Structure formats: structure tokens, C-alpha cells
């Protein structure tokens, strides 16, 4: 069973899978195509990726015009941000944040034309995302994590960034 909830951003959903816990630990079904389809999540996912990051690493804001992403935190704790990056949208720049962790098992469905980024709050974290299109670097857009047009609140200062995230564009 999953619980699907609309967010303040058009097309962005949160998904809460149920967990089975007993004296041995916990079991969570993180994706079941039929169950997700029954809840209106009908896109096909073609690629799964993970990133492993240390405390205070910030990745993003990244996205593209064609890919749906289903994101979660497999281990640790993240501050996750989704922002409308569609220049033709009246909601361009509107953003929302979520705390994703291995304890709350919250997932976020991110539509095309939305950027996303995350800041690691725990010692380390494993970020997982399913994608509806294969990754193509040339199709990506990037914005600075602290772009003043978005005025995103981040729960830390001086994050650890890649060259791409320092410059706000794709860098080889």
C-alpha cells in the first residue's frame, strides 16, 4: 500500500510506502509498477541511479524538460528541494522542500521542467532516483543552489559543491 499526496507544486507528489516491521527489522516495497499505476503514477522508469554523499554536500539544482524522477533517501537524511524551472510557467521559481530519510521513507515524484537539489543532513546519505528517460548531460539545465530568483531557504551555510553546482551550469 502507498499513500499519494499532492504538494503545493503542480504535478509534484509525495508517496509514502507502507513498511512492515517486526523484531528482525523492517521491510519496505519501494516500487511496484501496478500499485503506482493504480494511484495515477503511470510513467515508465528506464534508469535507476544513486548518489552517496557526506554531510553538508549539496547537489543541484538540476533537471531537464523530459524526465520524470521518483526520488527517495535509502540511508541517512536529506533536505530535498523541488523548484519550478519552466520559464513559461506562471509559477516559475516557486519551490517546496521536503525532509527525506531512511526512517520516514518518503518519496517525491518530480515532473519534467522542475529542478531538484538536496543537502545532506546526516553523516552520509544515499539518494536514490528512478528516471523516465535516460540521462543526457546535454539536455540538462542547472541553476545555482542560492539563485536569488528562487530565494530558497537551505538549513546550512557553506555547503560542499561540485564545479557544476558552483557555476550553475553543466561542466565536464
Domain boundaries, the chain: 6-167
pLDDT score, position 168 = 74
Whether residue 62 lies in the annotated active site: yes
Choose, from 10, 31, 55, 62, the residue flagged as catalytic.
62
Map 91-147 to HEC letters. Answer: CCCCEEEEEEECCCCCEEEECCCEEEEEEECCCEEEEEEEECCCCCHHHCEECCCCC
Per-position pLDDT tens, the chain of length 172 = 999 999 999 999 999 999 999 999 999 999 999 999 999 999 999 999 999 999 999 998 999 999 999 999 999 999 999 999 999 999 999 999 999 999 999 999 999 999 999 999 999 999 999 999 999 999 999 999 999 999 999 998 899 998 888 887 654 4
The superfamily CATH assigns to domain 6-167 is Jelly Rolls (2.60.120.10)
Which of these is catalytic: 36, 79, 129, 143?
A: 129
Q: Is 55 a catalytic residue?
A: no
Residues composing the chain:
172
Alpha carbon distance 104, 6 (integer Å): 17
pLDDT (0 to 100) of residue 157: 83
pTM for the model stands at: 0.95
pLDDT of residue 169: 66
The pLDDT assigned to 163 comes to 86
pLDDT the model gives residue 152: 97
CB 124 within 8 A of CB 54: yes
What are the cell numbers at 145? 543552489
Amino acid at each position: 500500500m502507498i499513500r499519494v499526496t499532492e504538494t503545493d507544486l503542480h504535478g509534484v507528489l509525495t508517496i509514502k510506502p507502507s513498511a512492515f516491521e517486526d523484531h528482525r527489522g523492517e521491510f519496505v516495497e519501494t516500487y511496484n509498477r501496478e500499485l503506482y499505476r493504480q494511484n495515477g503514477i503511470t510513467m515508465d522508469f528506464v534508469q535507476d541511479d544513486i548518489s552517496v554523499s557526506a554531510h553538508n554536500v549539496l547537489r543541484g539544482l538540476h533537471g531537464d524538460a523530459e524526465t520524470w524522477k521518483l526520488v527517495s533517501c535509502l540511508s541517512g537524511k536529506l533536505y530535498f528541494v523541488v523548484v519550478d524551472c519552466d520559464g513559461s510557467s506562471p509559477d516559475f521559481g516557486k519551490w517546496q522542500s521536503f525532509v527525506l530519510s531512511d526512517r520516514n521513507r518518503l518519496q517525491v515524484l518530480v515532473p519534467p521542467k522542475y529542478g531538484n537539489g538536496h543537502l545532506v543532513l546526516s553523516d552520509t546519505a544515499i539518494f536514490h532516483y528512478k528516471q523516465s528517460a535516460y540521462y543526457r548531460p546535454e539536455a540538462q539545465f542547472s541553476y545555482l543552489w542560492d539563485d536569488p530568483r528562487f530565494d530558497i531557504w537551505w538549513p546550512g551555510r557553506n555547503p560542499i559543491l561540485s564545479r557544476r553546482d558552483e557555476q550553475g551550469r553543466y561542466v565536464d
